[in-house]
């Protein structure tokens, strides 16, 4: 992290590492962000120690470490809020709960937002500085929630209250700014020819980002539509996992076809994790979430296992129509999340085969 709070995408440590980084990614810009997945690890560690009985080994070491990195996490969060802020004042935006909490990825080209991590996922055309991005505001909400939890754990009560307010403001603005009643889903926002705010809806991972990052409560009025979108076989659901883009979208499977249909294990892990949370929480969608959780969990493990049996590799992504592994092989990064999925509880009531052979 630099003194402003920026963490570069590529951590190039020496000539050998540099030789493996494409030339176009070696020059990096300190106002370009990347998905702050670090905070997911922070939340997971914090949950481990919060739910312990007080005798967890090394709990004092963890608290000391967390105390040391807490100011750095704050600096990083402030950098995101400062550099990735969205414009809520220049254009005719719908009334929102907060006049501050809106966000836009920097580093966008005509067809890509590499900084978002969802490189060629369809976005507004043409690009506009007035855009607001559903995935980024969801990440920001997750970061605020994480910091509120860290602050509370460390006894920083004023900080915990401040981050809690930011989290709530973001949660409210996700609905106010990004929900399209017409399309029944969450959408990116752009500015049209009349300088008015307009939704750009391509149903897929972007549409379910508020769900994947835990920003929808079990009682959310938007949750039913989100679950129905995920479960629709003509939209996102497949026998191999949740597709990155709806089969009904005009851009499904087009051009690079990188984030326009394939199944990605990192995103599916977030979906199945949130389905499990819903399945274990009383609410109007508990039964539906339980069924979807069991089905998706089995589909994901089957997909990785069957492809591994056939090819001997874990793959970067999987074909949403055939389940075949594709793109980069030896991909034991996020595809390894299937092991976390396997470790989740079986809520199917014993139906279906197990995966002990893995």
Active-site residue list: 119, 316
Token pair 């984030």 is found at 259
Residue with tokens 């399209």: 180
For 285-334, the DSSP string reads THHHHHHHHHHHHHHHHHHHHHHHHHHS---SEE-TTT--EESSSS--SG
Please report where in the chains the tokens 């603005």 appear, as a residue: 173
Q: What is the DSSP letter of 283?
A: S
Q: Which two tokens stand for residue 192?
A: 């049209």
Torsion of CA 36, 39, 41, 44, to 10 degrees: -140
List beta partners, residue 103: 85
The tokens of 162 are what?
Answer: 């401040």
Backbone angles phi, psi at 300, to 5 degrees: -65, -45
């Amino acid at each position: 992290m630099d003194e402003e709070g920026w963490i570069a995408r590529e951590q190039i440590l020496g000539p050998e590492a540099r030789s493996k980084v494409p030339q176009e990614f070696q020059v990096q810009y300190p106002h370009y962000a990347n998905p702050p997945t670090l905070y997911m690890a922070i939340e997971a560690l914090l949950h481990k120690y919060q739910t312990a009985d007080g005798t967890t080994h090394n709990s004092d070491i963890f608290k000391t470490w967390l105390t040391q990195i807490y100011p750095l996490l704050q600096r990083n969060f402030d950098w995101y809020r400062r550099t990735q802020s969205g414009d809520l004042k220049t254009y005719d935006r719908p009334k929102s709960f907060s006049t501050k909490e809106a966000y836009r990825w920097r580093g966008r080209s005509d067809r890509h937002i590499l900084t978002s991590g969802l490189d060629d996922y369809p976005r507004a055309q043409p690009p506009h500085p007035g855009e607001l991005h559903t995935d980024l505001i969801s990440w920001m909400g997750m970061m605020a929630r994480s910091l509120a939890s860290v602050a509370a754990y460390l006894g920083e009560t004023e900080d915990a209250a401040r981050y809690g307010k930011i989290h709530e403001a973001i949660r409210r603005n996700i609905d106010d700014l990004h929900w399209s009643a017409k399309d029944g889903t969450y959408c990116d926002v752009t500015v049209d020819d009349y300088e008015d705010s307009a939704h750009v809806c391509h149903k897929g991972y972007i549409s379910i980002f508020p769900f994947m990052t835990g920003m929808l409560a079990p009682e959310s009025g938007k949750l039913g539509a989100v679950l129905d979108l995920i479960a629709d076989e003509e939209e996102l659901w497949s026998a191999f996992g949740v597709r990155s883009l709806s089969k009904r979208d005009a851009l499904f499977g087009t051009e690079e076809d990188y984030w326009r249909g394939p199944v990605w294990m990192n995103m599916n892990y977030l979906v199945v994790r949130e389905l499990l949370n819903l399945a274990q929480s009383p609410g109007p969608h508990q039964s539906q979430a339980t069924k979807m959780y069991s089905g998706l969990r089995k589909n994901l493990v089957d997909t990785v296992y069957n492809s591994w049996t056939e090819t001997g590799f874990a793959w970067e992504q999987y074909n949403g129509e055939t389940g075949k592994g594709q793109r980069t092989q030896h991909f034991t990064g996020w595809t390894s999340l299937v092991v976390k999925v396997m470790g989740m509880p079986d809520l199917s009531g014993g139906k279906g085969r197990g995966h002990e052979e893995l």
